[in-house]
Amino acid sequence: MPRWANRLAKGGIIAVVLAAVGGTGWLAGNGGATPETPPDSLPAADLSPKEISVKEGSIVSRLTVAATIKADPSIPVRSTKAGTVTAVHRKNGQRVTKGQSLLTVKLPGAEPDGESGSKKKAKARYLAVVAPVAGKVTGMTATVGQEITPAEAVAQLDRGRFQAVAAIDAKDVYRFYRRPESIRLAIDHGPAPFNCRLIAYGAGASGAPPKGGDGGPPDGGGDPNQGGGGDAVEVTCRIPSSQRVFAGIRGKMAITTDSVRDAVVIPLSAVLGENDQGRVTVVGSGGKREVRKVKLGINDGKQVEVVDGLRVGEKILDRAPADDAFDVPQPADGGPPADGGPPPGDEMPGGE
């Protein structure tokens, strides 16, 4: 290429670059590169309470909680009288039926007759120690010649039965209005869900008789004013013998605590309180608002039954009324709380 042509090509490239730079500057100066100004303000969300109508509906109160499979405690075998073991009829691992003999015990002989002075011993008496329930013999400790008393267990019987135990959170205890209606159990990686018959519910209910009775929540144990020092509330159900399970595995327990049909129902968020008694804001004619006491029934965590105090078709607010005793305004940054206490971070006088 001739030298003049090479210089001409270089000059053309420089001209293109200068034109591009100059054009960008012109656009920036005339607002071409300036982003569009956003609107002055965005529409604010409407958080005010809304009017809703009281409706008729059905509620099924059901709790789903974690459960653990436990083996039933072994049943101890005891002699009804003291004596000496003369024979052991069953070994550990053998199965027995109810009433089957496990041991033979020789009872002590009779004392001599004080009036006649007879030294003749009474005829030896023997006692059969039998199985109180059917099961597999475990923990057999008795041996021939051993002296035993009713206070000590000579063996244990494993009935091979299992139960599912679920602990109930304190916030859900009030949803046990009476004895649970039904229980379904699902075992992790196990058989399909099945019915599980209620054994007991209440404080420390595992392996214990029912507490709480009908018509009210179970006994939570301990003093309610002491912040929960009692036993945890538990629900225990019997696993059918047809189901193959193992102690220690986990599952889910679906407990139906109660149900109602054709009841007056409102959202739980619209009532102050969840059980027994509550308050709602009723909207009357002309928009007049009135806080009214209502009697509450069961709830499913979203809706609650109103036993008395509201009629289908009445208007209420979808937000629960406030309680002045607990509706404490938040303090300004660095300022004292509304109840007159010290500002955040300050210590009370006299403290260490």
Q: Over the stretch 174-218, which tens digit does the pLDDT of each residue have?
A: 888 778 889 999 999 999 999 999 998 877 656 544 444 444 445
Cα distances (angstroms) measured from residue 279 to each of 15, 55, 63, 313: 82, 17, 25, 17
CATH number belonging to domain 75-107+123-158: 2.40.50.100
Q: Which two tokens stand for residue 148?
A: 């035993």
Helix, strand, coil share of the chain (percent; to 5): 10, 40, 50
Where are the domains positioned within the chain?
A: 51-61+262-317, 75-107+123-158, 161-258
Residues 76, 73: Cα–Cα separation, whole Å: 9
Indicate yes or no: pTM above 0.75.
Answer: no
Q: Residue 236 pLDDT more than 90?
A: yes
How is the beta sheet containing 135-138 ordered, strand by strand? Answer: 75-78, 153-158, 135-138, 95-96
Q: Are 309 and 319 contacting, i.e. CB atoms less than 8 angstroms apart?
A: no
The 3-state DSSP class for residue 55 equals strand
Q: Does domain 51-61+262-317 have CATH number 2.60.40.10?
A: no
Q: What is the pLDDT of residues 127-174, one digit of tens each?
A: 999 999 999 999 999 999 999 999 899 999 999 999 999 999 888 888
